[in-house]
Amino acid sequence: MQCPHCQSRQVVKNGKHHHQDGSAIQNYLCRGCRKRFSERTGTPMCRLRTPSSMVSLAMKMRTEGMGIRASGRVLEKSHVSIMRWEQRLADQEKQWSPPVPEGRVITVEGDEVYTRVGENLPPQESEGWTVIFLERDSRYWSVAKAGLKTIELFAQATQLAWQWAAPSAFIRWFTDGERRYAQQLWKLASIYLKSSEVTREYGHCKVWREGLEVAIKIKGSQGNRRVEWVKPEHPYTSISPACEVHANHTEANNSALRRRCSAYRRRQNLYAKTVEGLQRAVTVQRLVHNWVRPHWSLDKNMTPTMLLGLYHRPISILEFLSSRGFESLTN
Chain residues in the site for Zn ion (CB under 5 A): 3, 5-6, 8, 30, 32-33
Considering the complex, state which of residue 27 and residue 156 has its C-beta at the smaller distance from Zn ion. Answer: 27
Closest separation in Å from C-beta 32 to Zn ion: 4
Helix or strand or coil: residue 16?
strand
Query: 304: helix, coil or strand?
Result: helix
Q: Closest by alpha carbon to 307, among 185, 165, 139?
A: 139
- Output 37 or 311, the one with its CB closest to Zn ion: 37
- Distance from C-alpha of 292 to C-alpha of 141, rounded to nearest angstrom: 12
Taking residue 232's Cβ as centre, other Cβ atoms within 10 Å add up to 15
Question: Closer to Zn ion at the Cβ: 33 or 105?
Answer: 33
- Beta carbon nearer to Zn ion, 33 or 218: 33
**Cβ atoms within 10 Å, residue 73:** 14
User: Nearest distance from residue 37's CB to Zn ion, in Å?
Assistant: 8
Q: Considering the complex, what minimum distance in angstroms separates the CB of residue 273 from Zn ion?
A: 42
- C-alpha to C-alpha distance for 289 and 281, rounded to whole angstroms: 12
- Residue 194 burial (C-beta neighbours within 10 Å; 0-12, 13-18, 19+): exposed
Q: How far is the CB of 31 from Zn ion (least distance, A)?
A: 8
Cβ proximity to Zn ion, 29 vs 54, nearer residue: 29
Least Cβ distance, residue 39 to Zn ion (angstroms) = 15
Q: Burial of 170 by CB count in 10 Å (0-12 exposed, 13-18 middle, 19+ buried)?
A: middle
